[in-house]
Amino acid sequence: MTTIARMALTSILGLWLVTPAYADIFSFSTGTPDGLLGALSQPTAPGTLETETADDFILSQATFISGAVIVGLIPPGTPLADISNVEVEVYHVFPTDSDVGRTSGPPTFPTAEVPARLNSPADVEIDDATRDGSDGTLNFSADLLSASFAVQNTVVTGIKRKPDQTTRGDGPATGEEVQISMVFTPPILLRADHYFFRPEVQVSGGEFLYLSAPKPIVPPGTPFTGDLQAWIRNSDLVPDWLRIGSDIIGGTPAPTFNMTFSLIGATIAGTPGHARCRGQSISGLSEDFGGELDAAASSLGFPSVKALHNAVVAFCEE
C-alpha cells in the first residue's frame, strides 16, 4: 500500500497499525498510477453508458473490508465538489454467479459477444457487498494529488462486441489526478476467495477515468500469485466483459493492466457452515482488539456490537 493511501485509510478508519491489538489487520494495494491507462468507470450520464472497470484481489481468509482508496482522472479545472457519488461492487471470478452456457448445452467460455470469459468478473455482482454513497452505506472524500496528470491511452467509448473489440483505445488524456478514500458502513464481509473490485465515480458534467497501476505489482504495492488483468464493460455489453489489454488495446504482445486501488480491514476466524464459526469469529475479533468487542465494532465501522454480531451470524450461516 502506498504511503498516501495508508495515511488516508488509517485516518478515515482510525486503525492504528502500530498497535499490537490490530495484529490481524488486512491491507492490500496495487501500488501507484503508472501513467499508461485511464479507463472509464462511472454510472449512466447524459450521452454516456454506464461503464464498469474491475480489477482483482485475493483473500486468504475471511475478511471485513472496512475501506478503500482509488485513484483516477477528472477533467482539468473540475472542482472536487463535483465528485457527487461513489459506488463499489464486488464480483466473484467467472463462472461463479454467471450463466455459463448462455444456451442449452455444454458451457462455452467465449460468447457471441466477447472473445473470452475465463478469469473475468462474474455476470452479476455479490448483492450484499455493494456499497453506495447515495444510500449511506459508503462515505467518501476526495483529494487532489496533481493538477495535471497524463496517461498514454484511455478506454471510454471504444468498448465493442467481437469481432470489432480491438479498438486500440481512445487515445491519450490529461486531467486532475484525484484520490478518493472510502469507508464502508457497514464493512464488506467476504470469505476467503478470489474477487474483482469495481468502483464507479459520478462526476457532475465530466468523466472519471480509473488509473492503471503496474502489472506485475511492485512495491509499494502488494504482489500476489494469480494476479489477473483488468476488465471493462458498458451497459450495452452486459453481462459480458472485455479484457482491457488483451481484447481492446491489442498488439503483439498485448499489454495487461492493473488498476490503482487499496483495501483495508481485518481478518476473522471461522468457516461458514461450521458449528463453531460464530464463536471462533467473535472470540477472534475480541482478542484482536484487546478483548473489547466495542473497540472491534467501532474500529471496523459498525454502529454497535449487535450490528457486528449480526454480520458474523449472517456470514456463518451462509
Q: What is the mean pLDDT of residues 159-168?
A: 97
Confirm if 145 and 177 have CB atoms less than 8 A apart. Answer: yes
Cell of 133: 454513497
CA distances for 223 relative to 54, 61, 208, 290, angstroms? 17, 17, 26, 30
pLDDT for 166-199, tens place per residue?
Answer: 999 999 999 999 999 999 999 999 999 999 999 9
The confidence band for 48, taking pLDDT boundaries of 50, 70 and 90, is confident
Distance CA 269, CA 247 (A): 39
> What does 107-148 look like in DSSP terms, one character per residue?
--SS-SSSS--TTSBPSS--GGG-EEGGGTSEEEEEEEEEEE
pLDDT for 112-142, tens place per residue?
Answer: 899 999 999 999 999 999 999 999 999 999 9
pLDDT for 291-300, tens place per residue?
Answer: 778 888 887 7
The pTM for the full model equals 0.90
pLDDT value of residue 154:
98
Where along the chain do its domains lie? 3-17+25-267, 270-318
* Omega of the bond leading into 20 within 30 degrees of 0 (cis): no
**pLDDT at 242 exceeding the cut of 80:** yes
pLDDT for 69-126, tens place per residue?
Answer: 999 999 999 999 999 999 999 999 999 999 886 665 667 688 889 999 999 999 999 9
